[in-house]
Amino acid sequence: MSEVDRAPAPDASTLASILTQSESAETNLFRNIATLFKSMPRAELRCPFCRQPRSLNDLEKLEKMLMKRIEVNDPVAMCKMGKQRYREGDHSTAFEWYSKAAGLGDTGAHYLLSCLFLNGEGVEKDKKKSIYHMEQAAIGGHPSARHCLGIIERNNGRRERAAKHWIIASKLGHDDSMKSVREFYEKGYVSKEDYAEALRGHQAAVDATKSPYRMATDMFSHHDNY
């Protein structure tokens, strides 16, 4: 079992605490997380060779390829189709594709569903559901989702839990989480040993992304950034 699987996600009492905060505190918390989501880059569809934007014809071919994969219940293709619909401004259809992909266990789809529920795009705003899908994404190894759970725990005064989330995300190569761990270490909230462990894990994850095999895999991958 991986460390991500072992790390506890916020329990029901934690979520209840978030949802029963004063209106101003609750609003500020989710406004901050919504801003974080919106600031994260979402890659354009580009040719893996020349890096130029794909033509309309390329997009049509890609969509046909995706539909073939969707016919055999490929959750990655479903999530990809959802992203395409989102780019087109069809948030409701994007929500449907993300939901199907999440139902088949796609971690990125859970994360994107959390964004939609948080911002009320294509679906009614629902903070409980946003946190639920954020948790599912984090459990599945999504570093940005894990980082956001750390923000929630920090804003509720649970520094130890926040640090655990950020240490895990740091080991997955998440830069902002590594910065948060460093800040906690400087304030005395994280031990020297835990800080060193996070630093080593973060560096290992970054080095892994620079390997020739990983770079070649990323070039031909159908995944976008989210």
Which two three-digit tokens encode residue 149? 């759970």
Domains and CATH numbers, the chain: 3-220 (1.25.40.10)
Rounded to 5°, the CA angle 181-145-35 comes to 90
What is the tens place of the pLDDT at every residue in 173-193?
Answer: 999 999 999 999 999 999 999
Residue 209 has what pLDDT?
Answer: 81
Q: In DSSP terms, which residues pair with 53 in a beta bridge?
A: 46
Residues of the chain predicted below pLDDT 70:
1-58, 211-226
Q: What is the pTM of this model?
A: 0.70
The full length of the chain comes to 226
- Using CA atoms, how far apart are residues 37 and 151, in angstroms rounded to an integer? 12
What is the tens place of the pLDDT at every residue in 185-221?
Answer: 999 999 999 999 999 999 999 998 876 544 444 433 4
DSSP 59-75: HHHHHHHHHHHHHTT-H
